[in-house]
Amino acid sequence: MADLHFLANPARFRRFSQRMLPGLTLATVLSLAVGLYLALLQSPPDYQQGETVRIMFVHVPSAWLSMAGYALLAVLGASLLVWRHPLAALMARAAAPVGASFALVCLLTGSLWGRPMWGTYWAWDARLTSMLLLFFLYLGHIALSRAYDDPDRGDRAAAILALVGVINLPIIKFSVDWWNTLHQPASIMRLDAPAIHPSILMPLLWMAGSFLLLFIVLVLVRTETEIDRRRLEIADQSA
Partner 1 sequence: MSSYGVFILSAYLVVLVVLGGLTIASLSARAKVRRELASRGLDRKR
Q: How far is the CB of 218 from partner 1 (least distance, A)?
A: 6
Cβ–Cβ contacts within 10 Å for residue 73, how many? Answer: 27
- Of residues 56 and 172, the one with the C-beta less far from partner 1: 56
- Of residues 62 and 130, the one with the C-beta less far from partner 1: 62
The interface with partner 1 within residues 109-138 (CB under 8 A) comprises 109, 112-113, 115-116
Q: How far is the CB of 170 from partner 1 (least distance, A)?
A: 26
Q: Is 141 in the site for partner 1 (CB under 8 A)?
A: no
Q: What string marks each residue from 38 to 77 as x (binds partner 1 by CB under 8 A) or -?
A: --x----x----xxx-xx--xx--x---------------
* Range 25-32 contact pairs with CB under 8 angstroms and sequence separation of 24 or more: 25/217, 27/213, 28/210, 28/213, 28/214, 28/217, 31/206, 31/209, 31/210, 31/213, 32/210, 32/213, 32/214
Q: How far is the CB of 104 from partner 1 (least distance, A)?
A: 6
In this structure, are residues 239 and 39 in contact, taking their beta carbons and an 8 Å threshold? Answer: no
The interface with partner 1 within residues 183-202 (CB under 8 A) comprises none
What DSSP character marks residue 141? H
In this structure, are residues 138 and 94 in contact, taking their beta carbons and an 8 Å threshold? Answer: no
The sign one gets for the Cα dihedral 24, 29, 32, 38 is negative
In this structure, are residues 166 and 71 in contact, taking their beta carbons and an 8 Å threshold? Answer: yes
- Of residues 137 and 156, the one with the C-beta less far from partner 1: 137
**CA 202/CA 179 separation, integer angstroms:** 29
- By the criterion CB under 8 A, which residues form the site for partner 1? 11, 14-15, 36, 40, 45, 50-52, 54-55, 58-59, 62, 97-98, 101-102, 104-105, 108-109, 112-113, 115-116, 214, 218, 221-222, 224-225, 228-229, 231-232, 235
